[in-house]
Each structure stands twice: as structure tokens, then as C-alpha cells.
Amino acid sequence: MKPPTRLHEDPSTERRITLDDFANLAAIISGISVVVTLIFLVVQIRVNTKALRSNAIELFYNGYLDVTADANQLPEVAVALQKAFADKAMSTSDNHHLCVYIQRVCSVLERALIMVKDGMLDQGTFDMSIAPAKMTLSTSASRHWYFYLKNKRGLFRSELHELVENYYAELDSADAMAKASSSESGVGQVG
């Protein structure tokens, strides 16, 4: 049998490509390109978010390391910190150096709190890395200068006030508990 030729085909069943077909094909292609573009944007946003967080962590640690380096590289700051930790009398110069150092420590913490609030720095990283700042702020001289900078100079945001003052409340509570337990252990003893 011979294959049918075009002459024998029924012209009414012949399919022709129309402008509607081209429009439908264009709509499908544009839909696919929109999906591909959205996938690309999601990937780019994710990569950019990771880079932003990485930069925020680096900025936080660099600020922290700069402040810490001052305590090690500048003898005046080191002496002031030693006296503060030993609860020794401090000269005017020592107090000045400690005040500036406390301002820098608090500024680094404040910047990090803003980064946490904005989602650029995670809370776990922040909590894990603030122990040295808390240790510095725990001295009575540091406490004095923190409140001086807060109340007299109007420095720092409410987030930092809350963090530092909650820490001071924890320290005061621990001191009160230690004093109470030491006085209870001494009751009834004859010396």
C-alpha cells in the first residue's frame, strides 16, 4: 500500500499554526522564564543574607578585638583595668582611661544588640561572646562609669541599658545570696 500523499489528505483536518498558537507558546515560555528568575532571586537573596550575616559577625568580633587589644597594647588602659579589677584607688588619669574603655565596650555591645535586633547577628553568637565585656563591666569602677555615661552623658540605647542593668541585678542578687549563706553558716557557732 502506498502512503497517502498530501493530495489525498482531507484539507479540513489539516492543522495550521496560528497567531494564537504563537501567543500561547510565548506565554508558556515567559512563565518558565519567570519561574527560573524567581528561583535565581531566591538563591541570590539567600547567598546575600549569608554574606551579610558573615560580615556582621566579622564586624562584631573585630570591634571586640580592637577594644580588647587596647587593654593589652596601651599600658595606661591596662593599668586602669588592673586597678579596677583589684578595687584599688585610681588616679584621675586611670579613671579617664577606664571611662573611655567602658564607653568603647558598651558601644561594641550596643552595635551588636542592634545587629541582633535587625537579624544580622544571631542571639546565640551574641550571648556566647559577651562574657569578657560582662567581666569588665562587673567591677565597681566600671559600674560607676557605665551609670555616669548613661545618666550624665545620655549615651547608649535602651537595649543596652536593659542588658547591662539586668546583668547588674544578677550580680547584686548573687552577692546578696552569698552574704546570706555566709551569715547563716556562721549562726550558732561559738568562736
Residue 43, classified by CB atoms within 10 Å of its CB into exposed (0-12), middle (13-18) or buried (19+), is exposed
Is residue 60 included in any domain, yes or no? yes
> Residue 4's pLDDT band (boundaries 50, 70, 90)?
low
Is residue 26 included in any domain, yes or no? no
Task: Report, as an integer, the average pLDDT of 31-48.
Answer: 91
Cβ contact 181:156 at 8 Å: no
Is residue 112 included in any domain, yes or no? yes
The grid coordinates listed for 153 are 552623658
pLDDT digits (tens, 9 = 90+) for 51-61: 888 888 888 88
Is residue 83 included in any domain, yes or no? yes
Q: What is the number of helices (H) and of strands (E) in the chain?
A: 7, 0
Is the entire prediction scored with pTM above 0.75?
Answer: no
pLDDT digits (tens, 9 = 90+) for 95-144: 999 999 999 999 999 999 998 998 888 888 888 888 888 999 999 999 99
Is residue 133 included in any domain, yes or no? yes
pLDDT for position 20: 86
> Residue 9's pLDDT band (boundaries 50, 70, 90)?
low
The grid coordinates listed for 10 are 482531507
Is residue 179 included in any domain, yes or no? no
Is residue 22 included in any domain, yes or no? no
Is residue 186 included in any domain, yes or no? no
**153, pLDDT greater than 80:** yes
- Which residue range forms the structural domain that includes residue 131? 54-174
Cβ contact 148:102 at 8 Å: no
Task: Report, as an integer, the average pLDDT of 38-45.
Answer: 91
> Residue 185's pLDDT band (boundaries 50, 70, 90)?
low
pLDDT for position 191: 47
- Structural domains of the chain, count: 1
